Amino acid sequence: EKGGYDHFMLKEIYEQPEAILDTFRGRLLSNEAVIKLAGVEDNMKKFLAAERIIVVACGTSWHAGLVSEYIFEDLARIPVEVEYASEFRYRNPVITEKDIVIAISQSGETADTLAAIKLAKSKGAFVFGVCNVVGSSIARETDAGAYTHAGPEIGVASTKAFTTQITVLTLIALRLARAKGAISSSEFRHHLIELETIPSKVKEALESDGYVQTIADIYKDAKNFLYLGRGYNFPVALEGALKLKEISYIHAEGYPAAEMKHGPIALIDEHMPVVVIATKKGHYEKVVSNIQEIKSRKGKIIGIVTKGDKSVKELADHVIEVPETIESLTPLLTTIPLQLLSYHIAVMLDKNVDQPRNLAKSVTVE
């Protein structure tokens, strides 16, 4: 059932090219320059009238929500707020009929997310679900939605659910961007063509596996890790840190790279591995200078870079390459080596990768 892999997590990491293709199927028609999502089409009026999108989710799904904030704002020019469902539900949040709430959940059973949906509905908001499990409570409770179609995710640490959530959210953002006229038809087409290349680029990113194992072996005994990224890759840094915490029980924190100087830089010494996502475009030059700051304090740098990168290679102790793509799609690639790194460290430390202590696959209690 693990298809020859030692763990479900590894199997699910390797399933991502196919899972992302399944997410596209029947929805991304790049030849015709069309995105078809019934849940969006049927409610286009509401989407176009929305003054704001509020995303509610927990854990890894919340990280996918954070990535979508950049995508929706950048492409579709719709203001977005991303909320932990557990906080949102107990505030007295300002929600109106003009808001669209997007609830993201792999299992579709997360108690806090479900409660946040009920609250939003009671205030008159339109609630759209992005779930993986078909017919789940959240899928039923929402007004409309789009499934991720990632297939069953068994490993407690979420992997393919995350990348397919980002894929669906990107499709929605692009569809809305086009409907609003926020991007030109040529830009739209360019995004579709790039998106279509992602499964094969994920496959290529998976080829870093051997080198990631070498890095895992060097740093597996570290007591702390920092993960840094900016822009679209800031949420990926958070997700990388969460993966490491969950399955290897090593303390890790994700930060926006520029926040370093406001505190966390004090932690850096020769014992601190720092994983820095430094892909080309976006804030590349700025991230390179963040890397210089870490290096001058003797931190060990593991850079996640665009294929062919030179500047980071000169500074970092290790670099892991991912293929080039447009900035908004980089999270789908930069996530891959971070998943592999946490996996290999956990295996080397002899931890229970698929069923880490204290964690459950769906959190049906608050």
- Select 229 or 356, whichever has its Cβ closest to ligand F6R: 356
Q: Which is nearer to ligand F6R, 148 or 208 (CB)?
A: 148
Check if the beta carbon of residue 145 is closer than 8 Å to that of residue 350. no
Q: Is 24 helix (H, G, I), strand (E, B) or coil?
A: helix
CB neighbour list of residue 201: distance below 8 Å, 6 or more residues apart: 322, 323, 325, 332, 333
As measured in angstroms, the least distance from the Cβ of 106 to ligand F6R is 3
Q: How far is the CB of 275 from ligand F6R (least distance, A)?
A: 17
CB of 287 to ligand F6R, least distance (A): 25
User: Residue 92: how many CB atoms within 10 A of its CB?
Assistant: 6
Which position's Cβ is nearest ligand F6R? 59
Residue 278 amino acid letter: A
Q: Which residue number, 85 or 260, has a Cβ lying nearer to ligand F6R?
A: 85
CB of 158 to ligand F6R, least distance (A): 4
Q: How far is CA 74 from CA 5, 64, 324, 329, in A?
A: 38, 15, 19, 12
**108 or 229, CB closer to ligand F6R?**
108
- Which letter, b or e, does each residue of 196-216 get, where b requires 16 or more Cβ atoms within 10 Å of its Cβ? bebbebbebbbebbeebbebb
Amino acid identity of residue 222, one-letter, is A
Q: Shortest distance, CB of residue 359 to ligand F6R, whole angstroms?
A: 7
Q: Is 361 a catalytic residue?
A: yes
The nearest distance, CB 355 to ligand F6R, in angstroms, is 12
Which CB atom, from 167 or from 325, has the smaller least distance to ligand F6R?
167
Q: Give whichever of 119 and 157 is closer to ligand F6R, judged by the CB atom.
A: 157
Number of continuous H segments (helices) and E segments (strands) in the chain: 15, 12
Looking at 121, 203, 280, 361, which residue is catalytic?
Answer: 361
| Positive/negative CA dihedral, 329, 63, 84, 120 | positive
The residues that touch ligand F6R, with contacts defined as CB under 6 A, are: 58-61, 105-107, 110, 113, 156-158, 242, 246, 362-363
Cα radius of gyration (the chain):
20
DSSP per position, 210-249? HHHHHHHHHHTT-SEEEEEE-GGGHHHHHHHHHHHHHHH-
Q: Which residues are catalytic?
A: 361
